Structure 1
């Protein structure tokens, strides 16, 4: 079967890899000159199944209002960008801010994320691929007693899902992350997730794309996707800047841009671009740098060691498809890093922004499309595209191939929005 994959980010490339492994003819289309140059380019670097948590949670509306009054808020809404798409997405988010919805959403996010981490391990063993990867776990840092109290509920869900975890004292945190010793007075404790990993998603995506090419995958770079041609129940082809491209099946893996391509076909995907920022900092003092990866719960900032670099990523901004680099968002990343570590040269940092494709319930949309028999969806992974890439790529490939996936997947499809 000839399969056309739309998008050469980490989601599209992993999908292409698994399809090729199953013997399919695969073409990947992307407007960029190489793989992994958009949202996969400079994310936080975390493969964090244990940290897979929906934003929609009890108490979020109050927290969001409180955050937006602060100078270094983890969440920013740009008033000039408010439109129907944003309001609809916010409405869906608020509907999921119940205890029941949080439990359901987190449980299925953990399911696909844990499976994806296992798929990544198998892929790494099979190919020998390296990407500044480390398998040293993640520590979620708490600065307040309230954050520690909230962690108890997450620990219950982690236990229910069989995810290894441990509540760390400050002393135990410093044993694993001695670079935090200067910030000891700021910490109250932490949640350690030993199964989490880290690595450079861009490096991984480009190296896996090379291996996929060796399996026969064709990458059509610098090719703009203009529209999908469709009949009443199937996709007939893809109109691009290089002409019309056809196949037997199609995979939508365009992240935040997926809804724009589906809307003319009468399909509304509940995916909205949530802008995130990162700094990539040269490491100057290993003793004051992360050993692996930590998340500052107060500012919602992640700090990850990638070789001789430190990646600092975070913040959430609702502002449509605006990709401007804003100084105030950089200041939040710098503040969190300076307070906790400091072993990097911020003056030499590379500043970046990308659009995370978020669903209202936090779970990606993975599976068959409802309307078209030969169109498959692999989008809406939010901040967890790198974490869930291998698992969701393998699930979609198995479904296209007619093979039963290794985990339950019915509640990952777009149909769940109709059921709700």
Structure 2
């Protein structure tokens, strides 16, 4: 007797075949997606279970010996016999690589990624291959001093409206092996601000180690505010600027103390890219001693920018620039100014407390170069000089601030004492016979 398979779908009573309508329909696609999601959910559950077992194993292992991830042969002496104990590898290390990568792909959040890395060395190596590197654009990286406690690093993202703070002790900063590579590899920094920190070689070495991992191609600003220059030398700032200076548009040193003549020099400004920099501000200079001094920023910096056709907005405080060079810098701006810059009505260069630049001499030097110069009173001790060419509306504004009366008297007093000492040194005493 021949056996026939029973038909599950009787077409004799129903004229429409629903099976043909089901093939390739939305319902079939949805069912396939459910099957894929069930596989993904299963792998995700396995990943969560592994992370849970790992944390439970670590907490329950207090006071006991945890099993090693690799096979270890231990020899235990028991009386006269030596017994060899072979420890079995962990079941985490028995998982095939294909399944392991599928499990770890479900670890996307920051907490799950860190937990997976703590499972074993194998898990940590695998996460290096599958972890998504999301670059965070830092609008600001603010490094503030906390006294003896250390420094505070705050990264701010304007796009994501997020901020995060990390406190780093001085012992970690001074350690030559300390590294935050995992964080800085995901940073694209736009602005770096240092506030109230000592510019020591230890801090500079620490920051240079971190910056080598970050993306600095978008860096446009470096600001040092209330920074203590007393533990640094001329080479310290040079080393700090080396990896940062090429893309800077704004370079600021304001209200810094403990400075010396070589703290900021023409060589430091020469590290900046003249075609990129738009603003240089050196203001509120406070020297280490009470004597009035000048920074070694002189005519060389202005001549270099004029030669390269770059005229950034500048604020120079207590520098060694001279009146003739400032006038030449103004004249070069009119001669090299592009036609597209005619819409720019004014360009400002502020020279403050520079003893070699005098207002009366500046006016006469400008007129000698064929420039019209008009002075007017500015805010505080500033005197503004609006310099114009003939038949043009463009102006180059020079803001001069003279030395205060106390500082000028102190300088004259110091110079008279020096002259007196020199005379005493040159005077030959007459010995009475």
TM-score with structure 2 length normalisation? 0.19
Q: Report 1 or 2 for greater relative contact order, CA contacts < 8 Å, sequence distance ≥ 6.
A: 1
Higher alpha-carbon Rg:
2
TM-score by length of structure 1 reads 0.20
